[in-house]
Amino acid sequence: MSDTKIKICGLFRLCDAEYVNCAMPDYAGFVFYPQSRRNISLKLALELRKALHPAIATVGVFVNASYTEIVELCCQNIINVVQLHGSESNEFISGLRCILPENKIWKAYRIRSAKDLEVAKTSAADMVLLDNGHGSGKRFDWSLIMDFCRPFILAGGLTPENIPDAIKQFNPYALDISSGVESDGVKDKTKIYAAVAAARRG
């Protein structure tokens, strides 16, 4: 049994909540980024939150959004965790923490080189998320993070097949998966189930 948590990200249909409830990951993610094909409205996010099992924490993914946009989702209890996926600074993160002391803040870093990891190391966020892009479905070079010295969430190109290897190599706090649990651009119930089962097994 592994203690690595798992997040299924990018729910955008009501049936996605049913699929996720069957598999029971630790987190479910909603994307609030108009340029994403997984972007959802506040209304749909509210419906999805209501449809999800209460034990599943929800994560809102934002890209350079304003405090106002983020706070609205948190105040309506639609999301528990704020995931910042743009170029948000440590100052922005600290300001957000003052406004939302009850919500955890995760900051995603696009890992291309050792320099990117130096920036991630000094992050003001509660948890750093190491990723390849914006839901690209592609892995970055995992050899870069062999000596990364703070707890992290691994994202980018994860699949039910490579999850055991990711846990074995890095024992991350959590794994974050979106494209790898989709078929033909929509969430796939069988893949969601397989990903969560693989994460639990380790």
Ligand X SMILES: O=C(O)c1ccccc1N[C@@H]1O[C@H](COP(=O)(O)O)[C@@H](O)[C@H]1O
User: What residue ranges bind ligand X (CB under 6 A)?
Assistant: 9-10, 29, 31, 33, 36, 38, 61, 63, 85, 129, 131, 134-137, 155-158, 176-180
Nearer to ligand X, 101 or 123 (CB): 123
Torsion angle defined by CA atoms of residues 118, 93, 10 and 191, in that order, rounded to the nearest 10 degrees: 50
Burial of 43 (0-12, 13-18, 19+ CB in 10 A): exposed
Distance in Å, CB of 28 to ligand X, minimum: 11
Q: Are strands 186-187 and 182-183 parallel, antiparallel or unpaired?
A: antiparallel
Q: Is 188 a catalytic residue?
A: no
Distance in Å, CB of 103 to ligand X, minimum: 17
Which of 3, 16, 22, 131 does the annotation list as catalytic?
Answer: 131
Q: With contact defined as beta carbons under 8 Å apart, do 83 and 29 qualify? A: yes
Distance in Å, CB of 16 to ligand X, minimum: 13
Nearer to ligand X, 31 or 145 (CB): 31
Torsion angle defined by CA atoms of residues 38, 134, 196 and 105, in that order, rounded to the nearest 10 degrees: -100
Distance in Å, CB of 89 to ligand X, minimum: 17
At 62 the three-state DSSP class reads: strand
Q: With contact defined as beta carbons under 8 Å apart, do 103 and 77 qualify? A: no
Q: Is 15 a catalytic residue?
A: no
Beta bridge partners of 105: 82
Q: With contact defined as beta carbons under 8 Å apart, do 31 and 13 qualify? A: no
Residue nearest ligand X by beta-carbon distance: 135
Nearer to ligand X, 63 or 167 (CB): 63
Which of 3, 9, 141, 165 does the annotation list as catalytic?
Answer: 9
Residue positions annotated with a catalytic role: 9, 131
